[in-house]
């Protein structure tokens, strides 16, 4: 019995959400009195891999094969399942990133395992039971899922488990995985990524704005506020529908769901479909000129007033805060 964590890299580097997944997997390994192995696919430098030791990986299976250079979920799922079988893993952990969402179900089927997608806390292990908490009904509830298969696959919601530095060293081992040509029929034609921006699903801080901002020309102050905070930018659906902002920024029921530490909503009414994507944010700040805006009901802090006056002032205050801290 052991625990396996898949460590996805973004251009050779691991993001914070991966260190969270490793810390989480290490805690499960501790619960089960076993050790943690990580599997990495792609070209990642030794010193980057070695970082995983610090979060609790005892061993790293390093898969660096030409055929697996780019992410094809079918092929990656086969590799991860093969690694799980090699180390006789009883639990496989992934980050619930966009790629993780495409991998976890395939791995669960291959291993005949039970799956919890988007876990938000450690499993509860009582009387031989294995129960994992996740959000359900678009953030309106939590569900406790009992896994009764021998093997378990868990994908962890980013920003829901705190990184723990264990301070260990990992043994890195090359792993030559079997690559089936039938797993590699999809071809990647193009990847477009804004590298200079904080990516929204991983962001700890998010500044978001809605139709209250009147038009795309007014997003300068939103960007400035976000840059000052090191935050990602987001928007409501009508804003991306009107092409004021790209669709990848749209949060909510039909957009992406996020759970940052801080969500600042500017000129957004707080419709239930919007809240579905953001209500698990740890702290919510609402700036809206309408004191009756529904968003205030779920906010921690609120300012009633005109965004065009408040946001520039807030930017100035933050600048002096940054200068002093």
Partner 1 sequence: MKILVCISNVPDTTTKITFSDNDTQFNQNGVQFILNPYDEIALARAIELTDNGAGTVTVIHVGDASAEPTIRKALAIGAHDAVRVNAVPTDAFFVATQIAAYAKDQNFDLILAGRESIDYNGAKVPAMLAEILDIPSVSIIKKLNIEGNMGVVEREIEGGKEVLAIPFPFVAGTAEGVAEWKIPNMRGIMSARTKPLQVLEPIEVQTSSKIVKFETPAPRGQVTLIDAAEPQKLVDLLHAEAKVI
Ligand X SMILES: Cc1cc2nc3c(=O)[nH]c(=O)nc-3n(C[C@H](O)[C@H](O)[C@H](O)COP(=O)(O)OP(=O)(O)OC[C@H]3O[C@@H](n4cnc5c(N)ncnc54)[C@H](O)[C@@H]3O)c2cc1C
274 is in an annotated binding site: yes
User: Considering the rule CB under 8 A, would residue 3 count as an interface residue with partner 1?
Assistant: no
User: Considering the rule CB under 6 A, would residue 238 count as an interface residue with ligand X?
Assistant: yes
Q: Tell me, rounded to whole angstroms, the distance of Cα 41 from its chain centroid.
A: 18
Shortest distance, position 238 Cβ to partner 1, whole Å: 12
Site string for partner 1, 198-237 (x = CB under 8 A): -xxxx--x-----------------------x--------
272 is in an annotated binding site: yes
User: Considering the rule CB under 6 A, would residue 280 count as an interface residue with ligand X?
Assistant: no
- The CA-atom distances, in angstroms, between 55 and each of 11, 33, 59, 166, 257 are 20, 16, 12, 5, 26
Rg, Å, the chain Cα set: 21
Per partner kind, with CB cut-offs from 5 to 8 A, the member of partner 1, ligand X, none near residue 138 is: partner 1
126 is in an annotated binding site: no
Per partner kind, with CB cut-offs from 5 to 8 A, the member of partner 1, ligand X, none near residue 179 is: none
Q: Which stretch binds ligand X (CB under 6 A): 26-34, 199-207, 210-218, 226-234?
A: 210-218
Q: Which of positions 20-59 make contact with ligand X (CB under 6 A)?
A: none
3-state DSSP of 14-82: CCHHHHHHHHHHHHHHHHCCCCEEEEEECCCCHHHHHHHHHCCCCEEEEECCHHHCCCCHHHHHHHHHH
273 is in an annotated binding site: yes
250 is in an annotated binding site: no
102 is in an annotated binding site: no
DSSP 3-state assignment of 87? Answer: coil
User: Contact, 3 vs 29, CB < 8 A?
Assistant: yes
100 is in an annotated binding site: no
Q: How many residues bind ligand X (CB under 6 A)?
A: 25
Q: What is the DSSP string of 94-125?
A: EE-SHHHHHHHHHHHHHHT-EEEEEE-SPPEE
Per partner kind, with CB cut-offs from 5 to 8 A, the member of partner 1, ligand X, none near residue 69 is: none
User: Contact, 161 vs 25, CB < 8 A?
Assistant: no
Question: What's 7's DSSP letter?
Answer: -
Q: Which of positions 152-171 make contact with partner 1 (CB under 8 A)?
A: none
User: Considering the rule CB under 8 A, would residue 178 count as an interface residue with partner 1?
Assistant: no
Shortest distance, position 177 Cβ to partner 1, whole Å: 17
**Interface pick for ligand X out of 143, 173, 193, 254 (rule CB under 6 A):** 254
Per partner kind, with CB cut-offs from 5 to 8 A, the member of ligand X, partner 1, none near residue 269 is: ligand X
With a CB cutoff of 8 Å and minimum separation 6, the contacts of 313 are: none
Which tokens belong to 213? 């901002």
User: Considering the rule CB under 6 A, would residue 293 count as an interface residue with ligand X?
Assistant: yes
| Nearest CB to ligand X, comparing residues 32 and 256 | 256
User: Considering the rule CB under 6 A, would residue 308 count as an interface residue with ligand X?
Assistant: yes
28 is in an annotated binding site: no
State the pairing for strand pair 129-136/124-126.
antiparallel
d(CA 65, CA 67): 5
- The CA-atom distances, in angstroms, between 81 and each of 20, 58, 94, 112, 224 are 21, 19, 12, 10, 44
d(CA 74, CA 102): 9
| Nearest CB to partner 1, comparing residues 58 and 307 | 307
Residues that bind ligand X (CB under 6 A): 210-212, 236-239, 252-255, 267-269, 271, 273-274, 277, 288-290, 293, 306-308
- Known binding residues for FAD are 211, 267-274, 288
């Amino acid at each position: 019995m052991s625990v396996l964590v898949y460590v996805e890299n973004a251009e050779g580097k691991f993001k914070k959400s991966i260190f969270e997944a490793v810390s989480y997997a290490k805690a499960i390994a501790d619960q089960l009195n076993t050790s943690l192995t990580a599997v990495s696919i792609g070209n990642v430098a030794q010193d980057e891999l070695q970082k995983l030791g610090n979060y609790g990986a005892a061993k790293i299976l390093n898969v660096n094969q030409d055929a697996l250079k780019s992410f094809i979920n079918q092929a990656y799922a086969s590799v991860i399942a093969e690694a799980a079988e090699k180390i006789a893993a009883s639990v496989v952990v992934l980050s619930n990133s966009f790629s993780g969402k495409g991998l976890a179900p395939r791995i669960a089927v291959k291993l005949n395992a039970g799956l919890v997608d988007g876990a938000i806390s450690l499993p509860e292990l009582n009387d031989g039971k294995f129960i994992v908490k996740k959000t359900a009904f678009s953030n309106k509830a939590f569900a406790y899922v009992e896994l009764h298969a021998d093997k378990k696959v868990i994908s962890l919601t980013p920003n829901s488990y705190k990184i723990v530095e264990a301070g260990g060293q990992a043994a890195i081992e090359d792993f030559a995985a079997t690559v089936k040509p039938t797993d590699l029929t999809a071809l990647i034609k193009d990847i477009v990524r804004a590298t200079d921006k904080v990516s929204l699903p991983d962001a700890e801080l998010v500044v978001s704005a809605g139709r209250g901002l009147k038009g795309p020309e007014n997003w300068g102050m939103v960007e400035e506020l976000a840059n000052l905070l090191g935050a990602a930018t987001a928007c409501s659906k009508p804003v991306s529908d009107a092409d004021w902002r790209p669709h990848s920024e749209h949060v909510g029921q039909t957009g992406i769901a996020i759970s940052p530490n801080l969500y600042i909503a500017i000129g957004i009414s707080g419709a239930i479909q919007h809240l579905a994507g953001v209500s698990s944010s740890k702290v919510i700040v609402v700036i809206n000129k309408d004191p009756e805006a529904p968003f205030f009901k779920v906010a921690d802090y609120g300012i009633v007033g005109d965004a065009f006056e408040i946001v520039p002032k807030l930017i100035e205050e933050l600048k002096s805060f940054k200068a002093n801290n």
